[in-house]
Amino acid sequence: MESYLVRVLAKKRGIRGIACLTTGVVEEVAQRLDASPAARAALGYGLTAAALLGALLKVQQHVAVKFEGDGPLGKMIVESDNYGHLRGYVAQPSIALAPPFTANDVAAIVGQHGTLTVVKDLKVKDLYRSVVPLQTGRPDTDLTY
């Protein structure tokens, strides 16, 4: 399955939209890590978030996002650039949890106590780094915090 990233811009109205389908890249990363279905679900959230953040960058800029919670996943690191190149890693790819997975299951896998770190390389002198406590353990809601 392929993955897609679409950017839409209406300059006169000042509107920008981004949408992505990351099923193919999530499957590829999960296969390389030999990840369980539970770790694959968490990677899906993380890689999709990284793809959307990366779509906002300019040429040769990168973003890395690290979720480090107290859940069985341990640490998850996902990276993206402005071209949509993605990569991801989880510390514990073998998590025994039966599918189907909801967003709350992913929160339990990541853990609700820990930190979310976002590092942007904007190709200027220093990296931009932000660290906040995890609020829910869900990658989608924690990134909006």
Q: For the chain, which residues make up each domain, given as ranges? A: 4-143
Give the per-residue pLDDT at 87. 93
Give the per-residue pLDDT at 117. 95
Cβ burial, residue 45 (10 Å; 0-12/13-18/19+): buried
For residue 131 the two structure tokens come to 């660290």
Q: Taking 90 as the threshold, does the pLDDT of residue 144 lie above it?
A: no
Q: Which helix (H) or strand (E) holds 111?
A: none
Express each pLDDT in 26-65 by its tens digit: 999 999 999 999 899 999 999 999 999 999 999 999 999 9
Instruction: Say how far apart CA 112 and CA 134 lie, in whole Å.
Output: 6
- This prediction has a pTM of 0.90
The whole-chain average pLDDT of the chain stands at 91
Express each pLDDT in 59-91 by its tens digit: 999 999 999 999 999 999 999 999 989 999 999
Question: Other C-beta atoms within 10 Å of 117: how many?
Answer: 15
Topology of domain 4-143 in CATH is: Hsp33 domain (3.55.30)
Q: What is the mean pLDDT of residues 7-26?
A: 92
Q: Which helix (H) or strand (E) holds 5?
A: strand 4-10
